[in-house]
Amino acid sequence: MGIVTLAAFLVPAPLAAAARADGDDRTPVIRLPGATGAEGIAAGEGTTFFAGDLPNGNIFRGDIDKGTAHPFITAPEGRAAVGMKVDRDNDLLFVAGGATGQAYVYDLETKKTVRVYDLAPAGASFINDVALTRDGAWFTNSRAGELYRIPISSDGKPGDARTLALDAPAGTVDEGFNLNGIAAADDGDRLIVAHTGRGALYAVDPADGSNKLIEVTDSSGAPVTVTNVDGIVVRDGTLWAVQNFLNQVSRIDLNSRLSSGEVREVITSENFDIPTTAALFGETLAVVNAKFTTPGATSFEVVLVKACSGG
């Protein structure tokens, strides 16, 4: 079966223009003061989030209820901040370092660097996003068909990284951006990775790198592409796929085998400006604007939208 066109993809799924829920008086836009770029966001304790300054690696801390954010960690020169995740049990922040080829681990209590990892060659790699499982952090590389695992010991210390080569199809490298977003499923027994160039999602066995395409369809069963898929969020059987240059987030219901999924809703917002990643807080998605099409952008922000309209 062929892949339907983008126009056909947009029609079947109900469009949900973002709106605040009844009685929700939170500001829908939270500015990152002084940011020179943005890309990653991670949920912390309660309503706390962390977001990164893409070009310089600095980290912001904010609160979705208070509608505020402030500089939190000043990164050493030469770092970058792309995708990130919080290990709440150990108060650690794992950050992907983009074209540096590195990953960083920060202590959220002391704000100090715990470890720096050279995962891949600088300039020839792009360490893009990270997912946490029960005992480790997994990173993607958008220029290689491999993942990197940093184990976390029972006493909360990150160990030495190892590389997991992925089989085809997820491990096949194309021109442009390849693997991007990553999320844990089945309590970490499986991983889901997003492939930006193909508009595809893959279910990965973290034990051996074997994987399979998740066949995404619309409500009529027609196959669709998840065009420009960037960061992904998974909770139970639902996946939210941020589609950067489309300025939208698709909510996809997954089957238990992770072999297929159905687009149930396309979430949009007038406040989206090339969203890249998202963090989930109950029924709220906090989505960060990267503004890749606005080189002269002087402000960057986090946008709050409803994770599900009930459709």
The rounded distance, in Å, linking the Cα atoms of 184 and 98 is 20
The answer to whether residue 24 is domain-embedded is: yes
pLDDT attached to residue 5: 31
- Judged against a pLDDT cut of 80, whether residue 310 lies above it is answered with no
Of 270, 231, 236, 222, nearest to 250 by C-alpha is 231
Task: Note whether residue 311 is domain-resident.
Answer: no
> Does residue 1 sit within a domain?
no
Q: What is the pLDDT of residues 249-305, one digit of tens each?
A: 999 999 999 999 999 999 999 999 999 999 999 999 999 999 999 989 999 999 999
Whichever domain contains 291, its CATH number is 2.120.10.30
Q: Say how many residues make up the chain.
A: 311
Average pLDDT of the chain? 93
Residue 133 lies in a domain: yes
Q: Would you say residue 207 lies in a domain?
A: yes
Share of the chain above pLDDT 90, in %: 89
102-137 pLDDT, tens digit each? 999 999 999 999 999 999 999 999 999 999 999 899
pLDDT at 24: 73
Question: What would the mean pLDDT of 150-175 be, rounded to a whole number?
Answer: 97
Report pLDDT digits (tens) over 173-230. 999 999 999 999 998 999 999 999 999 999 999 999 999 999 999 999 999 999 999 9
| 309: confidence class by pLDDT, cuts 50, 70, 90 | confident
66 inside domain: yes
Categorize the per-residue pLDDT at 19 as very low, low, confident or very high, splitting at 50, 70 and 90. Answer: very low
Bridge partners (DSSP) of residue 214 are none
**Would residue 95 count as lying in a domain?**
yes
- Give me the pLDDT at residue 15, please: 53
Torsion of CA 14, 23, 32, 95, to 10 degrees: -60
Q: In terms of pLDDT, which residue wins out, 189 or 6?
A: 189
pLDDT of residue 4: 32
Long-range contacts of 42-51 (CB under 8 A, 24+ apart): 42/84, 42/85, 42/86, 42/93, 42/279, 43/86, 43/279, 43/280, 43/281, 43/286, 44/86, 44/88, 44/108, 45/88, 47/281, 49/279, 49/281, 49/286, 49/302, 50/84, 50/86, 50/93, 51/288, 51/302
Q: How far apart are CA 293 and CA 295, in angstroms?
A: 6
Residue 220: predicted pLDDT: 95
Alpha-carbon distance values, 91 to 59, 109, 156, 290 (Å): 15, 7, 9, 26
H/E element holding 175?
Answer: none
Give me the pLDDT at residue 274, please.
Answer: 98
Q: Is residue 182 part of a domain?
A: yes
Number of structural domains in the chain: 1
Range of the domain at 217: 6-306
